[in-house]
Structure 1
Amino acid sequence: MVSINSSVFNFPEIKRVLLLLEKKDRVKLFLVLVVNTFLAFLDLFGVALIGITSAILIRGLQGLTAGDQVSRFLELLNLDELPQRNILILLGTTAIFFFVLKTVLSVYFLRRTLRYMSIRNAQISSSLVSKMLNRPVEKIFNKSIQNQIYNVTGGVERLVGGAVTNLVVIASDVVLLLVIILGLMLVDPLTSVGTFFVFTGIAFLLYFLLHKRVSILNSKFAYESIYFNQKVSEGINSFRDLFIKGGREFYVNEIRKTKMKLAGYDAEIKFIPNISKYTIEISVILGIALIAGIQFYLFDSNRAIAVISVFLAASTRIAPAIIRLQQNIILVKSSLSAAQPTFELIDELNGIKELETTETLITTSHRDFAPRVNLKNLKFKYTDAINETIQDISLEISEGKFIAFVGPSGGGKSTLVDLVLGLLAPSSGSISISGLTPVDAIKKWPGSIGYVPQDVFIENSTVKENICLGFNPELVADDLIWQALEHADLSDFVRGLEGQLSYRISDSGKNLSGGQRQRLGIARALLTKPKIVIFDEATSALDAETENRVSESILKLTGECTVIFIAHRLSVVRSADMIYYIDKGRIVNQGTFDELRSINADFNNQANFMGI
């Protein structure tokens, strides 16, 4: 859990939030403040006119003429010759006009501000996602998916919508209060100052009593929301396991308990603002009564009624402003607390560039790309590991060769492939593909390298959209997709589906078999007709007959493609030009299938066990 700062505002965090906005955005926020200052004067003019109208009305009822100050005001506006009834109607109507105009303009500018902040919210979220996806693979998966989703959605919304937008409202209400209080001081300085300090004191007293609780509640709500979404996702994705072992009830109970916690936090968060609202409303009523008592006690009734009228009119603006001010201060504080995970993500992404906005267009021509891979003195250690996962590996993979990596689980085979693909950066040593680093080679020749993971990602979309993952499917010809399906031995299956390429696959490919999912992954990798194809246990879920057909397709790729294969099932790699036996991050032995059997007992035993 994050620590809660008990200061009124955590200014360093507010500064960080404001710095998320571009300079032009901060200038626009300042202009909004200037506009709100102008709107505050409309309120002041309305309150002043109400006071003048009240003074004329009271003195008129007593058969008296207007006072000296009011008379000079009427002369200034050339209204002194009008009948009193007309003056009252004119001044009252003008006051109402100022109040209505201020409200309408406030709504208009608030809508523009909220819309602008929503756009900035979207831009900041997109920027964070772009930076997130421009990191090494080990950084991508060091936190749960639900945590990362919250950081770039709800967390950013708390920063922009909860903090920045409410800061604008706070600044606007402070200006409004100052303008009205300064105006009231012209009517009755002592009462105005007293009113200001009493209501401000009440507002800050409520803040200090409530803000820490609200911050804690919002922080807990944020983390419990992440946990809740994570459990729901796990329950759906692991349904088969839970059904078989009878574990569904555990997940349902966990989800129920978490949701009940969230309901409790949510109810309390929503109720707390009402405490301050009703407290300030009662304070306004008592304050007006106190002002009335003081005025009638110290001054004549004419003056007392006029002053009370002005303060009553002002209270219709002061009370809501104080309520908003107090509540928005709490909202800013709670939003900063709830956005702590997003602050942590921003720190992690500091210095990382965004991905380019230009989308990669599909291409099957990889001119000048040489499918050669060279590894020299390669070493790698994960950030939280003690020992190196890859230890001083050097090898050269020639063009058109079929290379296999075998060995025990945890030996470093998949990590080596991640290094070759540029998903991880080596601790030392070098990797080159066609004379460039993996990242530069992929950037220069997109689609020249195909990759088939052991666990193929399947999205909830059509067959075509799944195969075109990362490309705009509207720009990919169906013939190209059918060719990839043929190579993956999946074309007959797809032709038998309703809609064929437009057939919709469910989340994670739940309506496909394991073998069909893997063959879909193979088709996806072969879509761009790559010159290097890397298979990471890509046939582990296939039956023997399908594996043989896919193996034949893979062998057809050799010569025109360089094939790199990670395998535990050795039947696929019998025809490999070179097999590297990797254990504890080192190449222990290398050779053809028969050569490796003769020099590596573990490899030979595994081959015998599989009946090869």
Structure 2
Amino acid sequence: MYKKISYILDDGQKIKLVIMLFVILVGALFELLGVSAIMPLISVATNPDSINETWYLLLIRDLFGFDEAKQIIVFLALALVIVYIAKNAYISEMYNLQYRFIFNNQRRLAVKMMKSYMHQNYLFHVSRNVAELQRNVTEDVNGFYTVVLNAMQFIAEASVCVVLAVFLMRVDVMTTLVVAGLVFVFALLVGVVFKKTLVKKGKENRSVSIRLTKWVLQSFSGIKEIKVMNKEDFFLKNYESTYRRFTALQRQQSMLTFVPRPVMETVCISGLLLTMAVKVYAFDTDLTAFIPALSAFAIAAFRMLPSFNRISGFMSAMMFNRPAIDVLYDDLTEIERLDKKRAKEEKQGKPLTIQNGISIKDVSFRYPKADKRVLEHLDLEIANNTSVALIGASGAGKSTLADVILGVLEPENGSILVDGRDIRSDMDAWHASIGYIPQAIYLMDDTIRANIAFGVEQNEIDENMLQKAVREAQLEEFVKSLPDGLDTVIGDRGVKLSGGQRQRIGIARALYGNPQVLILDEATSALDNDTEKEVMNAIDSLHGTRTLIVIAHRLTTIKKCDQIYEVGNGGVTLRSREEVFGG
């Protein structure tokens, strides 16, 4: 586990962690000072003659000219107040530093994980479950720093116990060794008995949490179909059963954390009292002489018992959250491997100036674990400002070819060239040059303005480009009919809009950056005939002004295309208009 934590933390965090450990050790010394400072006060209060037997009490008496024991008692009481104020001020700041370290770095790790996931290729996301990734960047990051925080606090409390044990050794070696031995044996037994159970429960808790998130996402994402088909009970039943298991695991973890605490307390108190009883009766120890030692143990126990309880809780939390470390470590190492595999060059992100066109040269592609290639040694030339249609049966590879051209899928071999330049040499520049209109437009629960200028800050939106995109997508009349115009909030996934309105917003989004290439992947296949005509009017007006790559099942959407290719058997075949439309 240490190796994995070390891998996840960067060098700066490790240095800060070492500094925090030093701060924790100083805090343990303050705790020792707080306990040991009480002893002189008790000693003088119970036996004033002890002043003459203790060098530092004699020093205080002579230095301040005290004549009576009560003067020294008042002085020691005031000194004790100052010690406790200083101690608690330091401890408070120590915890403040701990929490600042934990939560600042928790945020950094969450952003790092989110950034790592966002920058992975499309296949990475296709192969991963959204609920799992959501859990990784939220609960697993929190779980990791729960382990780190509990480890720091474990060290803090353990340090307090160690320094107090050393202090008690000076008071009574035998009693200290007996109690310390019992505590050590008990802690060892707890570790052996509970470790595997807690780690196992932690893994199951993580799995159940992912399923819980998945049921929530599925229930709300498909609410329309769920209501129409009267399937509310099915989703509620599965959500409830999953949540029941989740709460059962939480209860079990809480009990496994709690049980050692009262047992540890019983072991400590019993060990202390039995040892004292043996010393009094078996060794004929003077009870009066034993009172200061008893006081010392009572004061130390008052501080150490809560520490033992916290240590037990920290150990349980670390074991229960250990699976989060394993997941983050595995993902970060895999992401690092993928990043090294991809040769990264300097990215400019400025749109390309396309003069001649797009050349697809000897491209082959196979999905992971698939036996057959979807594309095999495919060649295709697309001249600048022409329109090309890709038709074919379902599963022929049309959308795969579009994804390769988009650059979200990387071919096994071959290349996509723009004016002879491989798009992989500057993928950001290529993406700045293209617009993409899929069948299902992803819309945020935000305004029309924000959805068209997708991913652009409100104060950075170019109004001229926005208005041009609205005109070209033939959205003007619809926007003017709305009381709030472009500032109308459209709801989650655009639920307040019709299918045609959603598609036209998608077209406007694709046009906002004034791209030179537009790729339409079944952009109208989900629309009825009348709505399709409206959307096609917007698309048809773009012919000749940009390079269009249109993937379609419906032949009505490709009538104005300059060339029509049929995709199949891993390649493309040029078809005449007569072959496609007849006559």
Q: TM tier, shorter chain? A: over 0.9
1:89-147, Cα deviation, whole Å (9 max, x unpaired): 33244345434433332222212211221111111111121121222211112121111
Correspondence 1:596-607 to 2 at 5 A:
597=579, 604=580, 607=581
**Secondary structure at the counterpart of residue 304 of structure 1:** helix
- Match status 1:226 vs 2:210: yes
CA distance, structure 1, for counterparts of residue 267 and residue 462 of structure 2: 71
Per the normalisation by structure 2, the TM-score is 0.92
1:36-66, Cα deviation, whole Å (9 max, x unpaired): 2122122222322323333333323xxxx21
Deviation at 1:559, TM superposition (A): 2.6
Equivalence for 2:99: 114
Equivalence for 1:322: 308
Equivalence for 2:193: 209
Deviation at 1:568, TM superposition (A): 0.4
Equivalence for 2:155: 171
CA distance, structure 1, for counterparts of residue 384 and residue 167 of structure 2: 84
Deviation at 1:206, TM superposition (A): 2.7
Distance 1:193 1:96, change over 3 A: farther
Distance 1:106 1:19, change over 3 A: farther
- Counting matched residue pairs gives 576
CA distance, structure 2, for counterparts of residue 93 and residue 45 of structure 1: 15
- Match status 1:247 vs 2:231: yes
CA distance, structure 2, for counterparts of residue 15 and residue 106 of structure 1: 29
Equivalence for 2:567: 582
1:524-581, Cα deviation, whole Å (9 max, x unpaired): 1011111000000112133434433443433332333111010101111122111110
Equivalence for 2:448: 463
Deviation at 1:446, TM superposition (A): 5.3
**Is the CA contact 1:180–1:314 (under 8 Å) kept in the aligned structure 2?**
yes
Deviation at 1:473, TM superposition (A): 3.0
**Is the CA contact 2:157–2:307 (under 8 Å) kept in the aligned structure 1?**
yes
**Secondary structure at the counterpart of residue 378 of structure 1:** strand
Deviation at 1:487, TM superposition (A): 1.9
CA RMSD of aligned residues (A): 2.5
The counterpart of 1:288, out of the listed 272, 282, 287, is: 272
The counterpart of 2:30, out of the listed 38, 42, 52, is: 42
CA distance, structure 1, for counterparts of residue 300 and residue 85 of structure 2: 15
CA distance, structure 1, for counterparts of residue 448 and residue 561 of structure 2: 31
The counterpart of 2:478, out of the listed 493, 514, 520, is: 493
560-569 or 42-51: which moved more?
A: 42-51
Distance 1:257 1:37, change over 3 A: same
**Is the CA contact 2:175–2:276 (under 8 Å) kept in the aligned structure 1?**
no
1:70-107, Cα deviation, whole Å (9 max, x unpaired): 42221344558532112223324434543443333222
CA distance, structure 1, for counterparts of residue 347 and residue 100 of structure 2: 27
The counterpart of 2:10, out of the listed 22, 47, 57, is: 22
CA distance, structure 2, for counterparts of residue 320 and residue 183 of structure 1: 18
**Is the CA contact 1:131–1:352 (under 8 Å) kept in the aligned structure 2?**
no
Equivalence for 2:19: 31
Equivalence for 1:521: 506
CA distance, structure 2, for counterparts of residue 295 and residue 54 of structure 1: 22
Structure 1 residues without counterparts, runs of 5 or longer: 1-12, 598-603
23-32 or 453-462: which moved more?
A: 23-32
1:252-311, Cα deviation, whole Å (9 max, x unpaired): 110111111112222222233221222223233323322432443332123211111111
Distance 1:371 1:542, change over 3 A: farther
**Secondary structure at the counterpart of residue 53 of structure 1:** helix
- Match status 1:437 vs 2:425: no
285-294 or 391-400: which moved more?
A: 285-294
The counterpart of 2:297, out of the listed 300, 304, 311, is: 311
The counterpart of 1:573, out of the listed 553, 558, 567, is: 558
Equivalence for 1:74: 57
CA distance, structure 1, for counterparts of residue 460 and residue 159 of structure 2: 55
Equivalence for 1:376: 361
The counterpart of 2:524, out of the listed 539, 545, 551, is: 539
1:374-393, Cα deviation, whole Å (9 max, x unpaired): 11110011112111111110
The counterpart of 1:336, out of the listed 322, 325, 331, is: 322
**Secondary structure at the counterpart of residue 44 of structure 2:** helix
**Secondary structure at the counterpart of residue 370 of structure 1:** coil
Distance 1:89 1:288, change over 3 A: farther
CA distance, structure 1, for counterparts of residue 187 and residue 89 of structure 2: 27
Distance 1:359 1:476, change over 3 A: farther
Per the normalisation by structure 1, the TM-score is 0.88
CA distance, structure 1, for counterparts of residue 117 and residue 418 of structure 2: 25
1:7-39, Cα deviation, whole Å (9 max, x unpaired): xxxxxx222113322212211111111122122
Percentage of matched positions with identical amino acids? 24
89-98 or 213-222: which moved more?
A: 89-98
Deviation at 1:215, TM superposition (A): 2.2
